[in-house]
Amino acid sequence: MEIKRYKELKLLEQRFKESPAVAILGPRQCGKTTLAHQFAKENNAEVHFFDLEDPRSLVRLENPLFALESLKGTIVIDEIQRRPDLFPVLRVLIDKNPKTKYLILGSASRDLLAQSSETLAGRISYVEMGGFSLDLLSEKDLKKRWLRGGFPRSFLAKSDAGSFQWRKDFVTTFLERDIPNLGIQIPAEMLRRFWMMVAHYHGQIFNASAIGNSLAINDTTARRYLDILSATFVLRQVQPWFYNTKKRLVKRPKVYFRDSGLFHTLISAMTEKDLVAHPKLGASWEGFALEEAIEHFNLSQEEVFFWAVHTGAECDLVFSKRGKTWGIEAKFNDAPTLTKSMQSAIEELSLEHLWVLYPGKDNYPLSDKATVVSLPNLKSL
């Protein structure tokens, strides 16, 4: 079964009108290659695929300039992080053949692909991509999407047990192969222990000292591990919103699993029954709902923040669009009400509006500045 990603296809079409090269960045197995094939089919163009994990493609690219310079149409290069030396070649080709399109797929962020930013500055546009979002699915799939996450093979598995096993295997492969392939030399078991420890902080302020003490590593190493898992799209750091105020603001980032299914794997919640009985149920919903909001509003990592003061008031997600500031709260609650914390956020941050995402069915106003929104109805905003 193949689910067509209309939103991403339209976005790619727009980006290619502005840039000769577009990079789709996201975690492994999230559907980047399938999207590239869908884009090629939609545009009926001559397409040349190079998979840098395929020995045949590697042989063809032993002399990359010779192999690529005569090709027309669209050139797709998958798993670009395995051959960062190709970026200078692409710069030459882009300048020489401006009508050729270059679609680059990578499983590492711009920070880990620094050479692309430096070499292709002004020539490349970046698109971040995750797994299936609710925009692509029907309302009846919400619980399944929450439990299994958005990785296509996990979501489409025949059973919860099959999905859970796929994710366990993904974690092992990610730690034992994908991280070392990026040139990062960290023992797989140590990074696994760190990742499992972070599961206890999902939706909370990251505490490098506490995690470091538990793993017998220093704060700097703990923060480095966090940065690596963030740069490979499995964790998300949400930075605090800073502004001029006399209040004592929380200044450390919050940390979330980007994919709810991976989070459930590391807390051993295989079925809906397991998840409902788990003490991290509320935190799981919060992370799931916020990730859906980030996807829906097409927010980049640099555009998402949270707000919190040491007296207790907070807002889960703060972002700016069209010159205005907006807020989002996620509540695993049958009927959320307007709290003092929400009122403080609206007033202190001068929010244009605050949306409260919950697992119910109906939308209803809390005030002229706050509305409770059913997560499936997020697409209507």
Each residue's pLDDT tens digit, 9-22: 999 999 999 999 99
Count of residues in the chain: 381
Residues 169 and 24 in one domain: no
Is 170 a member of any domain? yes
Residues 76 and 221 in one domain: no
pLDDT confidence of residue 14: 93
Model confidence at 188, pLDDT cuts 50, 70, 90, reads very high
pLDDT confidence of residue 242: 84
Element (H, E) at 89: helix 86-96
Predicted confidence (pLDDT) at residue 80 exceeds the cutoff of 70: yes
Residues 219 and 309 in one domain: yes
Predicted confidence (pLDDT) at residue 115 exceeds the cutoff of 60: no
Provide the number of structural domains found in the chain. Answer: 2
Could you report the per-residue pLDDT of 195-236, keeping only the tens digit for each?
999 999 999 999 999 999 999 999 999 999 999 999 999 999
Assess contact for 325 and 317: CB atoms under 8 A: no
pLDDT confidence of residue 311: 80
Distance CA(168)–CA(335), nearest Å, equals 35
Assess contact for 44 and 71: CB atoms under 8 A: no
Predicted confidence (pLDDT) at residue 113 exceeds the cutoff of 80: no
Model confidence at 114, pLDDT cuts 50, 70, 90, reads low
Distance CA(145)–CA(233), nearest Å, equals 18
What is the C-alpha R_g of the chain? Answer: 22
Mean pLDDT of the chain: 91
pLDDT confidence of residue 75: 92
Residues 139 and 190 in one domain: yes
Assess contact for 57 and 91: CB atoms under 8 A: no
pLDDT confidence of residue 57: 94
Mark which of 128, 155, 170 sits at the end of a domain: 128
Could you report the per-residue pLDDT of 145-165, keeping only the tens digit for each?
999 999 999 999 999 999 999
Model confidence at 356, pLDDT cuts 50, 70, 90, reads very high
Least trusted range by pLDDT, from 156-160, 283-287, 308-312, 323-327: 308-312
pLDDT confidence of residue 1: 65
Residues 27 and 122 in one domain: yes
Q: What is the CATH number for 106?
A: 3.40.50.300
Is 212 a member of any domain? yes
Could you report the per-residue pLDDT of 50-75, keeping only the tens digit for each?
999 999 999 999 999 999 998 988 99
Is 305 a member of any domain? yes
Least trusted range by pLDDT, from 181-185, 256-260, 306-310, 354-358: 181-185
Residues 256 and 355 in one domain: yes
Strands 324-330 and 353-358, bridge-based pairing: parallel
Residues of the domain holding 18:
6-128
Mark which of 128, 149, 173 sits at the end of a domain: 128
Which alpha helices (DSSP H) does 174-271 contain, by range?
Answer: 179-181, 188-199, 208-215, 219-231, 260-266
Predicted confidence (pLDDT) at residue 117 exceeds the cutoff of 60: no
Residues 225 and 358 in one domain: yes
Least trusted range by pLDDT, from 115-129, 147-161, 305-319: 115-129
Model confidence at 116, pLDDT cuts 50, 70, 90, reads low
**285 to 144, 276, 279: CA distances (angstroms):** 13, 11, 12
Token pair, residue 231, equals 């740069």
Mark which of 128, 144, 162 sits at the end of a domain: 128
Residues 228 and 358 in one domain: yes
Burial 76-111 (b: 16+ CB within 10 A, else e): bbbbbbbbbebbebbbebbeebeebbbbbbbbbbbe
Sign of the alpha-carbon torsion through 290, 295, 301, 307? negative
Predicted confidence (pLDDT) at residue 346 exceeds the cutoff of 70: yes
Predicted confidence (pLDDT) at residue 332 exceeds the cutoff of 90: yes
Mean pLDDT of 257-266: 97
Burial 267-290 (b: 16+ CB within 10 A, else e): bebbeeeebeeeebeebbbbbbbb
